Amino acid sequence: MHATTVDISRSGLQLEFDLASGLAVFPKGRITPGDPLRLNLQLPMSEPSFVDVQCQIIYANRVAGEEFRMGLRYTGFAGDGYQSLETYIAECLQ
């Protein structure tokens, strides 16, 4: 699924995606709060980093036409993924 991160924090993130991208991951068109979702995030840091993260869907809403937003809470990270997220957030705050 190709999505754009709209908001990111130490506890979760909000993604924006179009209908086609959503249907690629959720073929029945149903996104249910509480369901798990695994992501591979690309963090655009001074040295780009990919983070494999397990999330829980908190909400999904249509914002306009075929644009949707989904709120996710992190439930687990592979390897040093959380440290990479911390580093990325620290770089953004400088």
Residue 62 confidence (pLDDT): 86
What residue type is 71 in one-letter code? G
The strands making up 12-18's β-sheet, listed across from edge to edge, are 4-8, 12-18, 67-77, 49-64, 36-43
* pLDDT tens profile 22-42: 887 776 777 889 999 999 999
For 50, the 3-state DSSP assignment is strand
Specify the residue for token string 């687990």.
76
Distance CA 15, CA 60 (A): 9
Domains and CATH numbers, the chain: 4-93 (2.40.10.220)
When the pLDDT of each residue in the chain is averaged and rounded to a whole number, the result is 90
Helix (H) or strand (E) holding 18: strand 12-18
Average confidence (pLDDT) over 81-93: 92
Percentage of the chain modeled with pLDDT above 70: 99
Distance CA 51, CA 2 (A): 15
- Dihedral-angle region of residue 16 (phi above 0 means left; psi in -120 to 50 means alpha; beta otherwise): beta
